[in-house]
Structure 1
C-alpha cells in the first residue's frame, strides 16, 4: 500500500528570520531563536502547509547560542524539535542560504510569521524593508504573525495612511519582567530597549502580557502576536485556526 501527500492548494506560510548581527550592548553575536522557528514550522507542516524561510538580507542564518539544544550552556537542551531540525541535513540546508525579502510576492502566500531572538532588536526594529513586508501582508488581508522580540518591528510598522499597524489593536511581545529575568540570569543588561516599555508609551494601542515564560499568544483580527520563545506553538495554532487546513 502506498500513500500520496497532495500538496496542491496547500496553504503557504512565509517565515521571516533575522540575519546574524552583533549586539551593541553585550558585544555578543545574535540572530534568531531556534524554537521560534522550529516549533511553528512543525505545526505548519503537520497541518499540510508549505513553509518558506527568508531574511532581510538573504544568506546564511545563525541562531542565538542559548537557543541551540547542543550549546554547552544546556539552556535549551530539552528542545528536541530544534535538535531534530538542526541536525537534519535537509532542514539545516533551509538556513544555509535564505532568500532576501527583496521581491517577495505577498500574493503568493497566505500568512507571514516574523520570528524573534536577540537579532531583531538590532536588525528589525528600524529596517524599513521589514516594516513594509509586515504592512503589505496585513494590507493584503493576510494573517500576519509576529513573535517574541520580533515584535520590536511593530513599534515602527506603519500602514499606507501613516498610522501604526498596532493602532486600535491588542497585542503582546517580550515582557519587561522577562527582560528583568534575563538580565539577572546573565548578570548584565542585555537589550538596548524594552518592548513592553516602548509599547506602553504608544497611544491608541493595547499591549498586554501574561505571566513570565509562559505560552501566551493573542489574535486581533489579522494580527497574531506571541509573548516570547515559549509561545511559538500557540502563535502557529492561532494562524492555523485563522487559515484553516
Structure 2
C-alpha cells in the first residue's frame, strides 16, 4: 500500500485541493496520513464549501456543488482529527546567536537525520494550498526540512497553489540555494491573484491581495535554467519535473492526484511542459 503524508494549514485549506487528489488516492488504495504545523485539527476555507462561490479575478464560479459537498463532508467528519504535530516531530534549528551554537547545530542535524529515516515509510508528500499556508506553512523551517527529507530520499513532492512557495523557500542552511533552481514548476499566476479579500480561518485579518506574488518568486527561484509555467487562460496547469509535482490552482486538483499515481505506479518523471 502506498502512503502519502498530507500537510494542511491550521488557518484554512482550499477544499477541492484536498478532495481532488485524496479521492484519487483513496480509489487506488493509498493511505493518507495528515499533518499540521502544531497538531491542531485543520478546517477548510468557507468559500471552498460554498457552492457557487464566484472568483473575482477569474470572473467565474470556482466551487461547484460536488466539491462543496465533499469538502463539507470531510470538514465535518472524523478523518482530519488527530493529525501529526510537526512541531513535536521535527527539530527547530537554533538561532545563530544561541549559546553553544555549534553543539546545538550538531544536535539539530542528528535529530533531523533520524526524522528523515522515519520519512522512509511514506511514498509521497502533498502540501495542500489555499490562503492558510501563507501563515503557517510557507516559511515553516520544520516543513522545509520535511521537504528536504523527501528530496534526499528521492520521493515525490507535491504542492498546490500557494503552497508551492514552500518549495521555493526550502533550502539547506549551508548553501541556501533554491531546490527548484533549474526545475519547471507552476503556481498561482499574478493574473489570478485577488486584489482584495485574502482571508484566513481563526483570524479576522483581510490582507487585501496576497502578501507576495507567487509567480515572481517562482520565476526567480527556478532561474536561470528552469521555468515557471503559468498557463494563463488554460483550464489546467499541472507540471511534473521529478521529484516536484505542482498544480496551479483548484482546477488542477484531481489532475494532480492522477499524475501522482502515474509517478508512483508507472515511473512518470515529466508532464505538462
The structure number with the bigger radius of gyration is 2
Task: Give the deviation of 1:196 after TM superposition.
Answer: 0.3
- Summarize deviations over 1:76-135 as a string: whole Å, max 9, x none: 55241451353268x721223322124362111000111100011222221101111111
| Partner residue of 1:183 out of 195, 201, 207 | 195
| Partner residue of 1:44 out of 20, 25, 49 | 25
SS at 2:130's partner residue? coil
Assess if the C-alpha contact under 8 Å between 2:17 and 2:160 holds in 1: yes
| Partner residue of 2:47 out of 62, 66, 87 | 66
Paired residue for 2:151?
A: 138
- Summarize deviations over 1:11-51 as a string: whole Å, max 9, x none: 1111111112xxxxxxxxxx110001111100111111111
Paired residue for 1:56?
A: 37
Does structure 1 residue 100 correspond to structure 2 residue 85?
Answer: yes
| Partner residue of 1:80 out of 66, 78, 82 | 66
Task: Give the deviation of 1:214 after TM superposition.
Answer: 2.1
Assess if the C-alpha contact under 8 Å between 1:44 and 1:50 holds in 2: yes
Separation of aligned partners in 1, 2:250 and 2:184: 19
SS at 1:125's partner residue? coil
**CA, structure 1 residues 32+168, in 2 after alignment: closer, same or farther (shift >3 Å)?**
same
Separation of aligned partners in 2, 1:94 and 1:133: 22
| TM-score (norm. length: structure 2) | 0.73
Q: Unpaired runs of 5+ in structure 2?
A: 56-60, 90-114, 199-206, 267-273
| Partner residue of 1:110 out of 116, 123, 138 | 123
Q: What is the count of residue pairs matched by the alignment?
A: 223
Task: Give the deviation of 1:69 after TM superposition.
Answer: 3.2
Counterpart mapping for 1:16-27 below 5 A: 16-20=7-11
Task: Give the deviation of 1:67 after TM superposition.
Answer: 0.7
Paired residue for 2:256?
A: 235
| Partner residue of 2:216 out of 189, 197, 209 | 197
Task: Give the deviation of 1:233 after TM superposition.
Answer: 1.1
Task: Give the deviation of 1:56 after TM superposition.
Answer: 1.2
| TM-score (norm. length: structure 1) | 0.81
Assess if the C-alpha contact under 8 Å between 1:106 and 1:137 holds in 2: yes
Q: Unpaired runs of 5+ in structure 1?
A: 1-9, 21-30
More moved, 194-203 vs 109-118: 194-203
Assess if the C-alpha contact under 8 Å between 1:68 and 1:76 holds in 2: no
Q: CA RMSD in A?
A: 2.7
Task: Give the deviation of 1:162 after TM superposition.
Answer: 3.4
Separation of aligned partners in 1, 2:238 and 2:131: 19
Paired residue for 2:178?
A: 164
